[in-house]
């Protein structure tokens, strides 16, 4: 069902400063930047092999990432797995009794289809499923 690790999502307080930090310290260059209104984030992707590191800046305090930053501070926000068929993956998780954030797939960045799985079903880790567009 899972083909690769798609990305690790990291919540940051200052997106520009974080991008510069990743550039300077890890030598990574951003490959994609997108404002995803639906999720209340601006994201920057760095390619690492066939996967990405995704820095997430909140578009406001009353967004999921804004609330995450306020309660837990900057840090790892979610782990995203690449799947061939996100609807089929959701079906399997539902059958296993895993609580879902998204009952059906929705549009993600880069033209992908995504769905979030609730952290209470995954040992406290917010999991995202990503299907390439
Ligand atoms: Co993500």
The residue ranges of every structural domain in the chain are: 2-131
Catalytic residue (choose from 7, 39, 77, 131): 7
Examine the pLDDT at 25 and tell me if it is beyond 90.
Answer: yes
Examine the pLDDT at 38 and tell me if it is beyond 90.
Answer: no
Q: Taking the domain 2-131, which CATH number applies? A: 3.10.180.10
Task: Read off the pLDDT band of 34 (50, 70, 90).
Answer: very high
Q: Which three-class secondary structure state does DSSP give residue 93?
A: helix
CA of 79 to the centre of ligand 1 (A): 7
User: Quick one: how far is CA 9 from the chain centroid?
Assistant: 4
CB 57 within 8 A of CB 39: no
Mean pLDDT score, 100-123: 96
User: Quick one: how far is CA 106 from the chain centroid?
Assistant: 13
Task: Read off the pLDDT band of 29 (50, 70, 90).
Answer: very high
Helix or strand (DSSP H, E) at 66: helix 64-72
Provide the 8-state DSSP code for 110: G
Is 62 labeled as catalytic in the residue annotation?
A: no
Mean pLDDT score, 115-128: 97
What average pLDDT does the chain have? 97
Count of residues making up the chain? 133
User: Which is nearest to 78 in space by CA: 42, 124, 38?
Assistant: 124
Is 54 labeled as catalytic in the residue annotation?
A: yes
CA of 42 to the centre of ligand 1 (A): 11
Task: Read off the pLDDT band of 45 (50, 70, 90).
Answer: very high
Supply the pTM of this predicted model. Answer: 0.94
CA of 114 to the centre of ligand 1 (A): 8
Mean pLDDT score, 45-62: 97
Is 128 labeled as catalytic in the residue annotation?
A: yes
Task: List 8's β-bridge partners, or say none.
Answer: 53, 79
Examine the pLDDT at 2 and tell me if it is beyond 90.
Answer: yes
Provide the 8-state DSSP code for 62: T
| Strand ranges inside the chain, DSSP E | 2-12, 30-36, 41-48, 51-58, 75-83, 106-107, 113-117, 127-131
CA of 91 to the centre of ligand 1 (A): 20
């Amino acid at each position: 069902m899972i083909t690769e690790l798609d990305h690790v999502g990291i919540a940051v307080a200052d997106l520009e400063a974080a991008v510069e930090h990743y550039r300077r310290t890890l030598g990574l260059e951003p490959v994609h930047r997108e404002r995803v209104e639906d999720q209340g984030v601006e994201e920057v992707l760095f390619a690492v092999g066939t996967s990405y590191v995704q820095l997430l800046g909140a578009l406001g305090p009353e967004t999921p990432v804004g609330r995450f930053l306020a309660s837990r501070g900057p840090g790892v926000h979610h782990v995203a797995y690449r799947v061939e068929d996100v609807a089929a993956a959701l079906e399997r998780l539902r059958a296993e009794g895993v609580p879902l954030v998204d009952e059906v797939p929705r549009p993600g960045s880069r033209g992908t289809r995504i769905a979030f799985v609730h952290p209470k079903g995954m040992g406290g880790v917010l999991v995202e499923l990503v299907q390439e567009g």
